[in-house]
Amino acid sequence: MLFTLALLGGLTVLIKGADLFVDGAAATARYFRVSPLVVGMLIVGFGTSAPEMLVSAVSAIDGAPGIALGNAWGSNITNIALILGITALVKPVAVQSRVITTELPILLVVTGVAGAIVLDGTLGRIDAVILLVLFVLFLMWSVRFQHVDVTDPLADEAVREATANVSERSVWLSVAILAAGLVLLVLGSRGVVWGAIGIARAAGISDLVIGLTVVAVGTSLPELASSIAAVRKGEDEIAFGNIVGSNMFNTLAVVGIAGVIAPFEIERVSVVRDLPVMAGLTLLMLLFGIGRRGGPGRINRYEATLLVLGYVTYLASLVVTVL
């Protein structure tokens, strides 16, 4: 019970910490006249993905690589199969041609490269550095051509609120809010990792399974809320791009940071089961997004149902391995 409370409480604190971090960082950046592109691309993008990053980093420090990798890959699987599926059930999601011709193919290539790196069952520091270098190159390309917008409706709202309060809020208060967000992110990630490790050991299951399921779903909740909010506002491109951007961040930055902190061995089952599922869902997302005539299409409710059922099947396979 104590481990469960720590896990749930840590997830709650993580989400609140991410909100405060985005709010404080955006306001502070605007005081120093940082461009809106940088605010949206870096500050907001990193802030909304901070839960996955910190949980995996703390997991690596605490010697729980299964949670670190499971959180990253599990979040990718959750984002596509569960979050995109639920979002498209609420309202079919239109897909822009740019995502089909550019962002999704890049994500597929990145997933393939990440898979090739870990085929030997290890993630060394050189491997992790390669992932981080690819992530930096992707950010530079994104800023240069402004092709990828990693913000989302909730983050945009936070930036607008922060900007509106700049004249009323002192820079020190903005910095204090930023610091409070960072503190909550660290405390929340500590609670999540401690609780997850405790549950895994008490139940006699691997850290990897906990990372792929409970931790991955919990750290992906902000993406679910923002994607549903986006389609309800008619911002389908943001909803779809939110998934693509988050998966890019998880595959390169989250895994890379964990590997730089503490290189680790990867369970064989993760390479032969979870990696193909993640890659297959990415390809499926591309195929669903292509219209009947080869142009942009939409994720309809029938396809959304298949995604959700696929996630349920994947969870069932994890349960079978535990039993």
| pLDDT reported for residue 168 | 59
CA distances from 207 to 131, 200, 212 (A): 23, 6, 9
In a domain, 23, yes or no: no
In a domain, 218, yes or no: yes
In a domain, 191, yes or no: no
| pLDDT reported for residue 196 | 77
In a domain, 316, yes or no: yes
- The token pair at 321 is 């391995």
- CATH code for position 136: 1.20.1420.30
In a domain, 92, yes or no: yes
Q: How many domains does the chain have?
A: 1
> Which residue range(s) make up the domain with 221?
49-154+203-322
In a domain, 17, yes or no: no
Torsions phi, psi for 72 (to 5 deg): -70, -55
Q: Would you give per-residue pLDDT tens digits along the chain (323 residues)?
A: 788 887 788 778 777 776 777 677 667 766 666 554 455 445 555 666 677 788 888 888 888 888 888 888 988 999 899 989 998 898 888 887 677 778 888 999 999 999 999 988 899 999 999 999 999 898 887 766 654 444 445 445 555 554 555 555 677 787 788 788 777 877 777 777 778 778 777 777 777 888 888 788 777 776 777 677 767 777 666 677 778 888 888 899 989 999 999 888 888 888 999 999 999 999 999 888 886 665 567 888 899 999 999 999 998 888 887 66
Sign of the C-alpha dihedral computed for residues 171, 32, 27 and 191 taken in this order: negative
| pLDDT reported for residue 215 | 81
In a domain, 75, yes or no: yes
Indicate yes or no: pTM above 0.85.
no
In a domain, 37, yes or no: no
- The token pair at 27 is 């306001």
| pLDDT reported for residue 114 | 92
Rounded Cα gap, residues 263 and 77, in angstroms = 23
- Other Cβ atoms less than 10 A from the Cβ of 1: the count is 5
Calculate ∠ Cα 88-90-95, nearest 5°.
Answer: 30
In this structure, the chain runs to a length of 323
| pLDDT reported for residue 113 | 93
| pLDDT reported for residue 111 | 93
